[in-house]
Structure 1
């Protein structure tokens, strides 16, 4: 691979929220890259060829000049440090730390919500039963945090777009696109983020 040639492994259904995040990061940087899909249902991520490339055997995995990296937030940070172009994180240290906190939190918490509103709801239009009390509590926690983060600006988390906006909008859209009740200001925020061209490129992938 050349220094500007990259390969991104994503799930074959294009429903992974983390593959979305890495995909958007590459497009925001204006980087040319190829996509390789893996059928996760068929356990393709455990086949020897991919296992030799991906330390965690997960998507997304990025290959750049012989270097392989998985975990979407690590991919975004790497891309931001290595390549010029649209910043993926705020420049101000505390805002940058907050953006990384938001990403880590959305990946590690709200388990019941994510289980009951999988991203098949977002990208395939699947319908699920009403939220359980545990998932409702997770949704309330999500709304509370999002409203605090957006208190000073309803368009982006930190006054200008960052990759954390994609992750937050995706989590909100698990509920919004299913028809669950979400505060109006958060609906507006998520819908605006969803119209970003790099996000639309993912949404419009053939499934």
Structure 2
């Protein structure tokens, strides 16, 4: 299975935070792969070719030989198990569990913030209006959670880089890159994660005009 060709299906605008997560894992592990854009606005994810690969009809989807898998955290964990040479999760079992907790939290919570600070802010520089009260509450929860997770002055969540750092930095950058108020320590942390070469490669992809 390890010799099978890897393909990663991503959104055609390259704005999915979940596609970013899987892309970074593949790059960090030094794996050769092909990435294939899917035009979500045109409904390509609902066509017969894609639905044969993805039960959820969402991006990203990883294809490894004759095996396909959707949902980014599942992809991240699969790649970690199948290609363990360069870890993207903490080695400590409890830290690894916490990293997965962070990923699950960022994907399942904070919906008003994700809606009002879409990743068009992050990847297209689109500015968004002031947050509504519900989104302000979500932003406050994010900031308080990040502060609780990060030891003061820490470079990473768990003493070493993990993919959870990229996921958290992306969520913080929804606010930071829109000019919203975020504590300086979290701004520094997010900038550090964003400067990682694997992340910068995704950031600098040539995107189609909106």
Per the normalisation by structure 2, the TM-score is 0.96
2:176 matched to 1:168? no
The reply on whether 1:203 has 2:203 as its aligned counterpart is yes
- Aligned pair count reads 207
Q: Secondary structure at the match of 2:185?
A: helix
| CA displacement, residues 12-65 of structure 1 (integer Å, 9 cap, x when unaligned) | 000000000000000000000001100101111000011111121110000001
Moved more, 114-123 or 143-152: 143-152
1:43 matched to 2:43: yes
SS class of match (2:139): helix
**1:77-156 maps to which residues of 2 (within 5 A)?**
77-151=77-151, 154-156=154-156
Report if aligned partners of 2:2, 2:82 keep a CA contact under 8 Å in 1. Answer: no
Check conservation: 2:116, 2:128, Cα contact below 8 A: yes
Please name the residue that 2:66 is paired with. 66
User: What is aligned with 1:17?
Assistant: 17
The normalised TM-score by structure 1 is 0.97
- Runs of 4+ more than 6 Å apart: none
Q: Which runs of 5+ in 1 are unaligned?
A: none
- Residues 4, 31 of structure 1: 8 Å contact kept: no
More displaced stretch, 146-155 vs 42-51? 146-155
State which drifts further: 131-140 or 152-161.
Answer: 152-161
